[in-house]
Amino acid sequence: MDFPFLLSTMKSLLAATPTTLGLFSLSIFFGGLLALLIVTMRVSNNIVARNFAKGYIFVFRGSPLLIQMFLVFYGLGQFGVIRHSIVWPALREPFVCAVLSLALCTGGYSAEIFRSGLRAVPPGEIEAARAAGMSGFLLLRRIIAPIAFRHALPAYSTEIVLMVKSTALASLVTVWEITGVAQRLISQTYRTMEVFMCAAALYLILNFLILQVLALIEHRLNRHNLRPAERKPSVMSAFFGARP
Amino acid sequence: MSATPRLSVRNIRKSFGTHEVLRGISLDAHDGDVISVLGASGSGKSTFLRCINLLETADDGDIVVNGEEIAMKTTPRGRGAASRKQLDRIRSELGMVFQSFNLWSHMTILENIIEGPVQVQKRPRADCVAEAEALLEKVGIADRKDYYPAHLSGGQKQRAAIARSLAMHPKVILFDEPTSALDPELVGEVLHVMRDLAAEKMTMLVVTHEMGFARNVSNRVIFMRDGQIDCDGPPQDMFGGKGSPHFRQFIRHMETEHHAA
Ligand SMILES: Nc1ncnc2c1ncn2[C@@H]1O[C@H](COP(=O)(O)OP(=O)(O)OP(=O)(O)O)[C@@H](O)[C@H]1O
Ligand SMILES: [Mg+2]
């Protein structure tokens, strides 16, 4: 085992980790906002909005993310309106293109996940809230969203982990994230196994940490399914203080 | 009795498609009235109750709560409340207790009870908590305040739901078969709470199959049949043989069913 080589490889890959995390967190953030918009359209009474959302979800779930990314990266510049608009300097950046296509794609998946959460909200609990005088945003914020999010969280956790791995595709549009840097190292050293093993280990560590956080959130939100005796103070409450 | 009725329902009509479920129902509930609504399955009892707080929108007729009429409007999409604000406020003054409890599963019992007072009525949280604890004491589940609904028995859940509606200081409470989803041995604890409320002069409209409650606790019994009020009166008259032939047949049927069970 060539430890000095592994160490220097790890060092280069670690230097690329902020880029991977940037791709991941920005696309989850914007994709999440987009998903809220799409799911709102998907469950609305407006037939145009509903069908647009259906079409959106179908397209972005039904086609390969890599092709979506290529279309965004190579395709947008074909349109004069885009090339001459003020957003063009940003859209020329590979990083921005990668975030855009990752967000567009996870927006479609997350919208469906959120919708399944909404469908799991018991109608009787919504009725009880209406009967108590809640409506509109108050009803959404206090009753519908918290129950829907609890139901959606396991599936959404899976989507988040998939997104960490999907950032690797950005290497193909010349973003120097972990996988891109790994490939560059391989082309310089021809030591495929060692480099890719290091990269895989790094992704595993990232996902392990992210899953830990998600599990804590899930545990905390699932307290209503635990018996009172099982509700021991969680790590989250150690961080943020116990709930009143 | 000239005081303003707590609740006044005037000539409510409601159809689902071509099926006319309510065909003109009127009713006044005065302060302290406990009105039992009886009727066969499918006679429209739940629909009637749900039209009062507009969980269903009646096709015609008015609802007046404490002298204030709920303003309605008709648009191409159908009839509805004219003002969401007024509707929300009036709903918060009408308690509702459901057959299936409908406690909010993601909140503890205490959180369920303070939710409406804090979020809808904007009362200070500390006051609401103190009052909620007193209410839980009153319905006998003070020791369950930090439990989630999933860990309560049916009878405890229904008592919590009653406490939740009491916390809003309602003018009237609507009960839709509050004991029908309960195991027989748990019915008594809920009826006990309801009997206490009746003794405190809470105005209540109770859809029920509990003949004992209708006979002994309510001061008025209404028998619904085919979307109309078939007959009504004080329980001693109704159960003393003065009801319509249909009502007499209904109670005979209920009693044989009860003995069979
Ligand atoms: N949302 C709805 N859509 C269509 N039909 C409905 C709806 N709700 C109720 N109905 C019909 O209206 C009629 C009256 O129903 P309702 O639930 O008011 O009866 P009920 O007297 O409460 O009966 P039960 O004792 O079984 O609860 C029934 O025939 C029912 O099928
Ligand atoms: Mg019913």
Q: What does the alpha-carbon distance between residue A67 and residue A60 come to, in Å, rounded to a whole number? A: 10
- Asked whether residue A235 carries a pLDDT value surpassing 90, the answer given is no
- Cβ contact (<8 Å) for B104 and A129? yes
* Distance in angstroms (rounded) separating the CA atoms of residues B156 and B152: 6
Mean pLDDT, residues A35-46: 94
A118-143 tens-digit pLDDT: 999 999 999 999 999 999 999 999 99
Measured distance CA(B53)–CA(B174) in Å, rounded = 9
- Say yes or no: domain A3-239 is CATH 3.40.50.880: no
Which chain A residues touch B88 with a CB distance below 8 Å? 133-135
Quick check: helix, strand or coil at residue A199? Answer: helix
Region B148-158 average pLDDT: 94
Report the DSSP pairing between strands B220-225 and B68-69: unpaired
Contact B91 A224 (CB under 8 A): no
What are the sequence ranges of the domains in chain A?
3-239
> CB of A46 within 8 Å of any CB in chain B?
no
Confidence of residue B260 (pLDDT cuts 50, 70, 90): low
If one looks up domain B33-58+93-259 in CATH, what number appears? 3.40.50.300
Substitution target in A46, A139, A143, A232 with the highest count of B β-carbons within 10 Å is: A143
Nearest atom within ligand 1 for CA of residue B45: 21
pLDDT over 80 at A244, yes or no: no
| Nearest atom (ligand 1) to Cα of B56 | 1
Cα torsion through B37, B38, B44, B47, rounded to 10:
30
Rounded mean pLDDT, A215-234: 71
Q: Ligand 1: does its nearest atom lie under 6 Å from the Cβ of B108?
A: no
pLDDT over 90 (residue B255): no
- The answer to whether residues A129 and A139 touch, using CB atoms and an 8 Å cutoff, is yes
B122-137: per-residue pLDDT in tens? 999 999 999 999 999 9
Print the SS3 string covering A95-164: HHHHHHHHHHHHHHHHHHHHHHHHHCCCHHHHHHHHHCCCCHHHHHHHHHHHHHHHHHHHHHHHHHHHHH
Q: Cβ A122–B116 below 8 Å, yes or no?
A: no
What does the DSSP assignment read for chain B? --SPPSEEEEEEEEEETTEEEEEEEEEEE-TT-EEEEEE-TTSSHHHHHHHHTTSS--SEEEEEETTEEPPEEEETTEEEES-HHHHHHHHHHEEEE-TT----TTS-HHHHHHHIIIIIS---HHHHHHHHHHHHHHTT-GGGTTS-GGGS-HHHHHHHHHHHHHTT--SEEEEESTTTTS-HHHHHHHHHHHHHHHHTT--EEEE---HHHHHHT-SEEEEEETTEEEEEE-HHHIIIIIS-HHHHHHHHHHHHHHHH-
Show the tokens assigned to A36. Answer: 């809220």
Looking at residue B202, its pLDDT comes to 95
Domain boundaries, chain B: 33-58+93-259
The pTM is what?
0.87
Suggest the residue from A45, A46, A47, A134 to mutate for an interface test with chain B (most B CBs closer than 10 A). A134
Say what the ipTM of the complex is: 0.93
- Predicted confidence at residue B259, as pLDDT, reads 61
How far B102 CA sits from the closest chain A CA (Å)? 5
CA distance A167 to A165: 5
pLDDT on residue B242: 86
Ligand 1 neighbourhood includes B155 CB (under 6 angstroms): no
pLDDT at B256 (0 to 100): 80
Chain A residue with CA closest to B91: the answer is A133
Please state, in angstroms and as integers, the Cα–Cα distance from residue A75 to each residue in A12, A172, A175, following that order.
31, 15, 17
CB atoms under 10 Å from CB of A205, counted, come to 11
For B8-59, how does the pLDDT look when each residue is reduced to its tens digit (9 = 90+)? 999 999 999 999 999 999 999 999 999 999 999 999 999 999 999 999 999 9
